[in-house]
Amino acid sequence: MKNRYLTTSLLLLATTTAITHAGSPTPSPEIATAKEAPWLIPLLDVRARYEFADVDGLDPAHALTIRERVGLKTKAWYGLSALVEGEFTQAIIDDYYGGAPGVDPDDIRNSFINDPENAELNQAYLQYTGFDTTVKVGRQRIIYDNAAFVGNVGWRQNEQTYDAISLQNTSIKGLTLNLAYIDQVNRVFGEDATGIFENAPGDIYLFNASYTGIKGVTLGGYIYDMSFDDGVTKGWDNQTYGVSAKGALAGVTLYGELAYQDEAGPANDKEGLYAHFNATKTLFDTHALMVGIEHLDAGVQTPLATVHAFNGYADATDARRINGTHGGLTDTYVSYMMPIFCGIKWTNVGHIFGDNSISDNFGLGFDSVLSKKFDDHFTAIGKLGYFDSNDKLYKSTTRVSVELDYTF
């Protein structure tokens, strides 16, 4: 496979670095407090959400869903530990389409809300930590950088996880190396979905690096080599090479990312660039103003991304961003965050969407989010996403959601 030998060499280099620079293994915090820590630690994450969706050409939809993640993790024993976690979603109000064939609810006349009823194994892995290195083997969550290319789609009730081997090494001060081989992508539609909506097997090699050794600056780089087995998902094959940088200048936080993708597009016959730049300024000590632009050349695809985090919370561009059928997508946006009262944060974002230029020829978007963190366990979020378009590739969409999260 193209670039597989390069990725394998990087894996060997990172492993060698871990051994030659590490010295003696550093006991994990669990080992250091082994006498106090229980052998089994319970895990509980519960989310209750009401969501309304109105997609142009479909019936309005209403969903009241409750999702529980329940699991156990062990304390570390000579660096070894394990975790197992199940994920369960129930639809109390099911007047919506779950987003994929085979799922429940399945009325395709309704607007889609991709939270079908589901019961599945979410994570199950063995972990070893030592010599400044953590290795995980099994079903696991993987998120790199801002999840523009690799994420867990955490907004949806059933998150995206990976059957994978992953390694993280921090032997060199300020440098974090991440490597992963993924055998299967477990998608958000759950075990009742059919075909690629349930999972996407393949041979996926990921390399991601971050360096913070320069004061006030974070540098990043990545190589993602994705090859999928299924005939339908072969169009997701791509090789992506990117760099990023974040730092501050004159009181403004600057972020920039640039990537090149080979074998882009549904026919894997394109090459394209990805770019994302923004600037954030803190105002009045507690307010934040951000101005940014994100661009995908025609064909650039992000099949493993947390697409909800980009191009507005109406999720109107998600499917075409995943498979690269957007024809070029440019999102110019302005965001303003401010505290209002009782610890509630209010964020508003305006978007103009163009193809290969700064324009509104694809449409306009607006997002508004209210969030309140009550304590270490409870968080409430209210969210509006609006997208208006006359372009034949997209449908005008409105989404409103209210949720309460509990984590133990």
**Could you report the per-residue pLDDT of 144-179, keeping only the tens digit for each?**
999 999 999 999 999 999 999 999 999 999 999 999
Beta strands in 151-237, from DSSP E residues, in sequence order: 161-169, 175-186, 199-211, 218-228
Mean pLDDT along residues 200-213? 98
Closest CA to 110 of 149, 30, 165, 52: 52
Q: Which amino acid is at 76?
A: A
Closest CA to 4 of 232, 161, 237: 237
Question: Would strands 252-264 and 270-283 be described as parallel, antiparallel, or unpaired?
Answer: antiparallel
| Residue range 223-246, pLDDT digits in tens | 999 999 987 888 999 999 999 999
Fill in the DSSP letter of residue 408: -
Pair 158, 188: CB distance under 8 Å = yes
Name the more confident of 23 and 182.
182
The residue length of the chain stands at 408
Q: Under 8 Å CB-to-CB from 367, ≥6 apart: which residues?
A: 312, 313, 314, 347, 348, 349, 351, 383, 384, 385, 386
Fill in the DSSP letter of residue 304: B
| Residue range 13-64, pLDDT digits in tens | 344 344 344 444 444 444 445 467 899 999 999 999 999 999 999 999 999 9
**Cβ count within 10 A of residue 396:** 18
Greatest Cα-to-Cα distance within the chain, rounded to the nearest angstrom: 64
Name the more confident of 37 and 11.
37
pTM: predicted TM-score of the whole model, two decimal places: 0.90
Helix-then-strand count for the chain, H and E: 3, 18
